[in-house]
Structure 1
Amino acid sequence: MFTKTMFHGIGRTALPALALFALVSPVQAAAPLGDPLQGDGRTSPFYTWNGSVPQHPGRLLRSEPLPDVLGLEGTGAQYRILYASTDGVGGKKPVAVSGALFVPAGTPPEGGWPVIAWAHGTFGMADICAPSWHGRSYRDVRFLQSWLKNGFAVVATDYQGLGGPGPNPALNNRANAYALIDSVRAALSLHAAKLANRVVFVGQSQGGSAVVAASGYAPGYAPDVNWLATVATGTIYAPEGHDHVLDGKPLSSKPDPTVAYQYYSVLAAQQTDPTIRAEEIFTPEALPLFKQARIYCLDSLEGDAVETQLSPAAALKPEGQARLKSWWHEALKLPTVHFERPVFIGAGGKDGLFIAQKQLATDACAAGSVIEAHAYHDLGHSDTLNASQPDSLRFVQAVLAGKAIQPHCDIE
């Protein structure tokens, strides 16, 4: 089962997007209709795209200043952005995706600020959970501000269907990877004078998986994006033939807020397999919270799970996990573990995903990738993000300086 240990913005006036509309490709697709059963709605009109979506991934659709309360310190300009991407579930249809862009204060270096493309962890599946609307955790704020302080712009996708129209496919790696890559294209078009096409993918938990997937998709999907390196922490990895990295320990009988993740898994699975019924996965006492998962963000859903004293063993039917396993493997599938650029992997020793990340480093190295793997033995899933940042910053600075990365494949 997935557990909590496994998952876990001062703006200038935005440049007018109207001039971009004249450049939109004539090949377009209608935006998907909202679905309240998948948490659509309850955000501002900015997130609703009623026109056709251009079949031009990364095309900026609109932007607006991001409210100061959602801001990051050290930012000279910050925006909400809405841009075109590709539906990662079907792989073809254009979709509109939201996100945020943070540009450092001060004068950019020659060529512009390099760009961190940030992939966040699980927040929930309702549109109101999109970080560009809902806000970010203090953990993530500290982390992103550090990159800004060190001379990087940050573009942060909300992911497909989270904020923007249509359902959010949650752990679908291809959807999250496409949304991440296309956020870079949109950012570069919005602030071409200040941003450099020198890009690093950085992600945590669900986002760790997203950036690893993006590292495989980017060369073919977006050769125009000058991706230089990847930083992944708390990564969810589920290779076929290694079921043990997902299964973990038997279901606990102790009350556990991580039951919340199971509700999101079922909602996402139902998007591609409508035959999956919540009653097949959850016990009668757990079913009421499934309705809340459609509208609640993670912190609220976890709070209700604690209040109702739900344990994984009491909430999930034994056959429910087997019903979802094939979906998990399909959603988390990677295009390759042979990466053309260096990848930093940071794993907490007390993270329930430690074995999975160890396996990822082993598999990627065996495939010929340059991997710099680090273990943070006394840390868990969440606190590894900021604790590893001095190491990941050094790694990224070395890559940008053109220095060779010495492979380190073993996480012990």
Structure 2
Amino acid sequence: MSKGMRSAAIFAALGLATVQPALAAQAPLAQTVPAPAAGALIDSRPLASEFGLDGAAQAFAIRYGSTDGITGSGIVPVTGALFIPRGTPPAGGWPVIAWAHGTVGIGDDCAPSRNPRSARDRTYLDHWLGEGYAIVATDYQGLGAPGPHPYLNSRAAAYSTLDAVRAVLGGDFGLANKVLLVGQSQGAGAAFATAGYAADYAPGLDIRGTVATGIPNLAAVPAGAAGDDEKVDRIIAYLLYIASAAQQIDPKYDPAAVLTDRAMPLFDRAADTCVVDMFGAVVEAGLTRANTFKTDFWRHYAPMLTHAGYPTLSIRTPIFIGTGAEDIDTPASMQKALVEAACAAGSVIEAHVYPGLDHSGTVNRSFADSRLFARSVMAGETITATCAPGGKES
């Protein structure tokens, strides 16, 4: 397999499963009301209890308008959830965390607001609720609402995240315009991109900082890091999502030009199979990179994947980056390179490396450090940049 195909395999590993397959306990919000404006709340209602968080006093399913991130113009409806912490709000209202989730799938039934969250994410988000933050959690454009989900499109994820914050601030939820962006894996990339788009797209939001764990860095994909071409590899599920989303957005992308006859049945399932089941299907089918791809996946989909990059590495507000030293989904070397590049561009990065931890294990372990970072940026305190190779070992 070519170096480009290996790059594509690593590139695809941008998120972990954060939800289980969708349940039927809560029907989706009605789809018939048009979105009135970007950042405007369309409707809200109580979120089904099985989709909630233990630390929330109230939880709402929300729908709001957002700018179409595929075209950069026009309004689309986007769904999500809002969680209000327990206790008495501070003067001025609860500060807000904008949560950006990892890969869940590309079909509407995979939307996080329609599913119970993973044990890892429930624990993590409950930690933030316990710190006194409300959490607005976008599903991203096209997940849970009409239209294709532009998987890994950083502009679409950023617009969805920023408009979710504007929507709930405009509602009667008792929130303050004091915002922290938080994301894991694909969502870490979304949070970083959101911080880059915020100044121009949503200048009225008071974004204090960003917390990112397992962040991807496509500019530093290590050649040959994808592993054994003959080994059954669940990461192929991510590549099938990329192919399916690309064809939905632009039919010129012909999956049969890249995928083998053996892989095409799984491609056909990718549009509506959530990631946990997709992992299982890939393994059951015995898919390897050798028996899945006819040609260079990366080269074929490179034009679509350019939308996954960051708009800038020069971020105006501080950023916490937590990296597992044993992370192979978004390798630690990739994350280190991003820290160095962002620091060189003038961003203030507080980097932490966690020995012995993988992609998922870093999420909750990093909270002891990120909560202190969050307290500092919310208080307007200066963050000391840690741009040396490897950052802090924690």
Query: Could you say which residue in structure 1 is the equivalent of 2:77?
Result: 96
**How far, CA to CA, are the matches of 2:70 and 2:225 in structure 1?**
27
**How far, CA to CA, are the matches of 2:182 and 2:259 in structure 1?**
34
- The alpha carbon displacement at 1:52 in A equals 3.1
Matches within 5 A, 1:8-19: 8=16
Matches within 5 A, 1:286-301: 286-301=263-278
Equivalent of 2:314 in 338, 342, 358: 338
Using CA pairs under 8 Å that are at least 6 residues apart, name the structure with larger relative contact order, 1 or 2.
2
Indicate how the Cα distance of structure 1 residues 115 and 245 shifts in structure 2: closer, same or farther if over 3 A, else same: farther
Query: Could you say which residue in structure 2 is the equivalent of 1:47?
Result: 29
Could you tell me whether the CA contact under 8 Å between 1:258 and 1:302 is conserved in 2?
yes
Equivalent of 1:136 in 117, 124, 144: 117
**How far, CA to CA, are the matches of 2:223 and 2:162 in structure 1?**
27
Structure 1 residue 2 and structure 2 residue 9: aligned?
Answer: yes
Equivalent residues, number = 373
Moved over 3 A (4+): 2-6, 42-48, 244-251
SS for the counterpart of 1:391 is: helix
Unaligned residue ranges in structure 2 (runs of 5+): 1-7, 17-23
The one-letter code matched in structure 2 to 1:2 is A
Query: Could you say which residue in structure 2 is the equivalent of 1:356?
Result: 334
Could you tell me whether the CA contact under 8 Å between 1:2 and 1:246 is conserved in 2?
no
Unaligned residue ranges in structure 1 (runs of 5+): 9-41
Could you tell me whether the CA contact under 8 Å between 1:348 and 1:378 is conserved in 2?
yes
The one-letter code matched in structure 2 to 1:256 is D
Could you tell me whether the CA contact under 8 Å between 2:26 and 2:48 is conserved in 1?
no
Matches within 5 A, 1:22-41: none
Give the root-mean-square deviation of aligned CA atoms.
1.8
Deviations 1:55-111 (A, max 9, x none): x21100011100111111121111000000011111011010000000011211111
Structure 1 residue 265 and structure 2 residue 242: aligned?
Answer: yes
- The alpha carbon displacement at 1:5 in A equals 5.2
Please give the TM-score of this superposition, normalised by the length of structure 1. Answer: 0.86
**How far, CA to CA, are the matches of 1:186 and 1:91 in structure 2?**
19
Deviations 1:142-165 (A, max 9, x none): 100000011111110000000011
Q: Identity of aligned pairs, percent?
A: 43
Query: Could you say which residue in structure 2 is the equivalent of 1:127?
Result: 108
Please give the TM-score of this superposition, normalised by the length of structure 2. Answer: 0.90
The one-letter code matched in structure 2 to 1:7 is G
Mean alpha-carbon deviation: is it higher for 402-411 or for 64-73? Answer: 402-411
SS for the counterpart of 2:81 is: strand
Matches within 5 A, 1:10-409: 46-54=28-36, 56-192=37-173, 194-239=174-219, 242=220, 244-245=221-222, 248-249=225-226, 252-328=229-305, 330-352=306-328, 353=330, 354-409=332-387
**How far, CA to CA, are the matches of 2:89 and 2:26 in structure 1?**
32
**How far, CA to CA, are the matches of 2:115 and 2:323 in structure 1?**
27
